[in-house]
Structure 1
Amino acid sequence: MRKSIIIIVLLIGVFAQAQNKKWTLKECVEYALENNISVKQSELDLDLAEIEKLTAKGNFVPGISAGAGVSENTGLSFDPITNNARTTTFLSASGNINVGYTLFDGLRNFRQLQRAEISKLSSQYRLNKMKDDISLFVANGYLQVILNKANLEVLISQNQVTKEQIERTQELVDAGSLPRGDLLEIKATDASEQQSIINAQNSVQISLISLAQLLLIKDYENFDIEDEGYNIVDDGVASRDIAEIIAAAKDNRSEIKIAEQNVELAKKDLQISKGANYPTLSAFFGYNTRYADTPGVVSQIDPDNPTVTQQIGVVQSTGEAVVSEFPNTSLVEVPADPLVDQLYLNDGIGYGLQLNIPILNGFNIKSSVQRSRVSLERAKFELEQAELDLESTVYQAYVDAKGALKSYEAAQLAVESQDLAYSYAKERYDVGLTNAFDFSQSKLRYDNARIELNRSKYDYIFKLKVLELYFGIPATELKF
């Protein structure tokens, strides 16, 4: 009984721990990469590319086929062994093995295999890009939750100060040192802050739900994140020259690699199309055999009367008959040969080479080659456009990161200034040198400055990580 109670307590503890689990950013990213539908679809595309490669390898393997058949014939039929017409019932069987192999087809087999390898590499780059995009989506959603929680903490802490001021003002009003209007002003500020807290709580919950949906987690109520320990970690990428970042992006980003592989695919398609102009040489080999249970007919010598005398001519001068002895034979029906013997005696082999030369096919090959050339030119333009787009995107990310840093630094200065102004206003209010409205306005400006500091901080963190990602740092290795 005691052991059962201990087990139940342990299970409750484990369940409670699971319910109170807080997800780190790394856990969220890893979970998304493992469960996101778009990532799974990209992984399926990679599997299809591997299947395409296997198919291309199969073109180098000879084609082998085998066949067999059994039939029973009644009435007038042709004996499959002798090819003679017979009126009887017999069982027959046949079998064959055929082998074919393409010796030369304009190198299209080799080009298909090379194309399959390029296609697989392209699918891998698309999967990497999808993982990078998902990682950024998760990081952005995660930082949004942290921002909303930080803003909520600011509002709660400042509302606590407001409640303390209500108590202090109540004492001063009761003592006749302050008018009752100041107390009402502070209470109105408290009510407004309470409303802001409720809105901030809703923002936290909505952002958590959005992040959970991105991760495909359905337990919204118990989902929460680890909201501590995320600061600005700069590995020096933002201080690098923009030309260096753009060059690194072109060398590392999947967008460029995908466009490059599309060009290589178009080149292989052009080579494959041209290969159709060449002759195709193939070799073949065939083996076949047959069996029938029809009885055979043979000529046998009569053992009792082995010879017969027959006239074979006449002597012209005398008219005397010329006779000779011949074997005394007769046709005798014998049973069919055994199965193994017939398969050996009735087999046949065929082999040879076959050459196909394309001469005129309605301009199909020529049209295919021209289409492949157009596709190649299109792929080259798309690669050029991808490089221009990436350059523009990286430059924008660089400017955004620089601007976000300046905004963050300005927000820090603003908080310092508003902190001093708020402290000064509080001191003046406590001694009755300012009214409640001026004090509440000073406190509101201080609260807004702290909220703006939080926003600019996490905005800079995200934009800095975007820039690092373009520089070539893997999404799973970004530091926060």
Structure 2
Amino acid sequence: MKHTNYIVVLFLAFAHLALGQVTLAQVRQLTMDDAVKLALDKNRDLKVATLETSKSTQKVVEARGYALPTVAASAQYLYYFNKQVSFLPGSFVGLGDDQVATFRVGGSNALLGGVAVSQPLFQTSVRSGIKVAQIDESATTEALTTVRANVVTDVKKAYLDVLITQEQLRLQQQSIARNEQALKDSRSLLAQGRASRVDTLRAFVTVENLRPTLIQLTNRIGITKTILKQTMGLDEQEAIELQDSLLYNEALFISPGTDVFLDAVQARPEVRRLELLEKLNQEQIVQQIAEKQPKLSAIGLAQAQSQANNFQFGDYKWPVSSYVGLQVNVPIFTGFRTNSRIQQAQITRQQSNTQLANLKEIVRAQVKIGLANVEEARLRIQTQQQTISVAELGYRITRDRWKQGIASRLDMSDAELSLTQAKSNYLQAVYDYLTATVNLDKVLGKIK
């Protein structure tokens, strides 16, 4: 019996170990670069934008198709309850010249089949339509680049949100650990008669007041990870673990040249897209004007027809008729529709010009703000690095003085709070710096 119990316990231990290994295997380890690559592959907004580029490519194929011949086959069957009537002058059948003779011709069953061909020879709107489709394809590609830049930026910022929340949790745990140590020291001094009961109670309350924030930060980590997974396009149930750390890296920022604004305007896909839309609107004006011009096409038809009073198809005669020719279509009056479309295209072009000028001013402001934010965060980091050193020294001195009975418990709490605040400010400054560099890369059009 004991042997059997031993086997059961051993089996459960191995099962638990195997289950733990499976659980660990399901946790996806992510660096920031990994998160970006996953987002570029799985993000749903990016997939929609990619499909839009495929659709615009097919629009080019469609536009070119209007310059190709159109071939259509047709077939028709008719059954006449009353046969067709033909009219002839009365003199043909011995009647007076002022009379009309009628008689029925053909069979009850009529069949008709043929092939018609039409080839545009001169149609200016076709050429303009191809140009419009090609420009639209290029504009859609720039829109895809914009979506890609937005996705990369959003993923990096979401990744940084998780990192700073984890660091804030770690900072809070350190604060609790320091206060717990202070509570332990206070109890020891109380037992020695060197500290008051009030100081011990105050130390206990301080520790307990820090715990709710610990719970909030723990919950916030789960929320920020959920946002990151949604941005990347991962399933919400999938577990992830971040591998990077929230560290200050001055090399991330490279001071731009004097023509930073011009470089940003040339690199931003949004600007290039609006420039293409302006060309697109101009070509649409040309396309609408072309609708007023004549259209010349080559046409041809070959058809066979037969009629009979029975369904003996083998006995049917199938005479064939055919022709080729030219067809000219000259627009004369279209109810002012063409003129209205021309006016609409001209107004749309004016709108795109205004939007382009406005976007350039927005880019100018974004570049200025982005550079200022990076520089501000850098200065805050340098300041907070010194502040942390001073706060740590102050905390150690105050702790030693408190243990010697020279400093009060209130002095001890202030020193610990100052140290925690200094580290929190430094952490926030590093986060702001990294976020500002991510935003600046997007503003300068460096995200490809």
Give the TM-score range, shorter chain.
0.7 to 0.9
1:168 correspondence with 2:168:
no
Q: Percent identity at matched positions?
A: 18
Deviation at 1:155, TM superposition (A): 1.5
Q: Is the deviation greater in 466-475 or in 62-71?
A: 466-475
1:103 is paired with a residue of what secondary structure?
Answer: strand
1:372 correspondence with 2:387:
no
1:39 correspondence with 2:46:
yes
Q: Which amino acid aligns with 2:303?
A: N
2:56, 2:133 within 8 Å by CA — same for their partners in 1? yes
Equivalent position to 1:284, from 272, 285, 299: 299
Deviation at 1:279, TM superposition (A): 1.3
2:216 is paired with a residue of what secondary structure?
Answer: helix
CA distance in structure 2 between the partners assigned to 1:122 and 1:60 by the alignment: 23
Q: Which runs of 5+ in 2 are unaligned?
A: 1-11, 87-101
Question: Cα 1:135–1:87, aligned 2, differ >3 Å: closer, same or farther?
Answer: closer
1:462 correspondence with 2:443:
no
Correspondence for 2:375: 402
Equivalent position to 1:426, from 399, 408, 429: 399
Q: Which has the higher helix share?
A: 2
Correspondence for 1:202: 219
CA distance in structure 1 between the partners assigned to 2:184 and 2:141 by the alignment: 65
CA deviations 1:127-163 (Å, max 9, x no partner) are 2111211222222222111111111111212322222
2:107, 2:308 within 8 Å by CA — same for their partners in 1? no
Equivalent position to 2:62, from 55, 59, 62: 55
Correspondence for 1:332: none
**In terms of Rg, which structure is larger?**
1
Q: Is the deviation greater in 44-53 or in 22-31?
A: 22-31
Q: Which runs of 5+ in 1 are unaligned?
A: 296-334, 476-480
Equivalent position to 1:239, from 240, 250, 255: 255
1:36, 1:216 within 8 Å by CA — same for their partners in 2? yes
CA distance in structure 1 between the partners assigned to 2:70 and 2:105 by the alignment: 40
1:277, 1:358 within 8 Å by CA — same for their partners in 2? yes
CA deviations 1:92-149 (Å, max 9, x no partner) are 43211110111112x2111111111111111111121112112222222221111111
CA distance in structure 2 between the partners assigned to 1:78 and 1:96 by the alignment: 24
Q: Which amino acid aligns with 1:269?
A: Q
Deviation at 1:294, TM superposition (A): 6.5
CA distance in structure 2 between the partners assigned to 1:236 and 1:77 by the alignment: 88
2:50, 2:144 within 8 Å by CA — same for their partners in 1? yes
Correspondence for 1:303: none
Q: Which amino acid aligns with 1:49?
A: S
Q: How many residue pairs get matched? A: 421
Question: Cα 1:364–1:435, aligned 2, differ >3 Å: closer, same or farther?
Answer: same
CA distance in structure 2 between the partners assigned to 1:156 and 1:231 by the alignment: 19
Correspondence for 1:186: 203
2:269, 2:445 within 8 Å by CA — same for their partners in 1? no
Question: Cα 1:167–1:191, aligned 2, differ >3 Å: closer, same or farther?
Answer: same
1:22 is paired with a residue of what secondary structure?
Answer: strand
CA distance in structure 1 between the partners assigned to 2:334 and 2:249 by the alignment: 65
1:100, 1:282 within 8 Å by CA — same for their partners in 2? yes
Question: Cα 1:11–1:252, aligned 2, differ >3 Å: closer, same or farther?
Answer: farther
1:224 correspondence with 2:224:
no
Question: Cα 1:462–1:369, aligned 2, differ >3 Å: closer, same or farther?
Answer: same
Q: TM-score, normalised by structure 1?
A: 0.79
Q: Which amino acid aligns with 1:421?
A: G
CA deviations 1:285-342 (Å, max 9, x no partner) are 01112234579xxxxxxxxxxxxxxxxxxxxxxxxxxxxxxxxxxxxxxx99955xx4
2:42, 2:234 within 8 Å by CA — same for their partners in 1? no
Question: Cα 1:161–1:233, aligned 2, differ >3 Å: closer, same or farther?
Answer: closer
Question: Cα 1:282–1:235, aligned 2, differ >3 Å: closer, same or farther?
Answer: farther
Q: Which amino acid aligns with 1:415?
A: I
CA distance in structure 1 between the partners assigned to 2:365 and 2:185 by the alignment: 57
Correspondence for 2:98: none
Q: TM-score, normalised by structure 2?
A: 0.84
Equivalent position to 1:112, from 129, 132, 135: 129
Correspondence for 1:312: none
CA distance in structure 2 between the partners assigned to 1:407 and 1:65 by the alignment: 74
CA distance in structure 2 between the partners assigned to 1:23 and 1:236 by the alignment: 20
Correspondence for 2:138: 121
Deviation at 1:25, TM superposition (A): 2.3
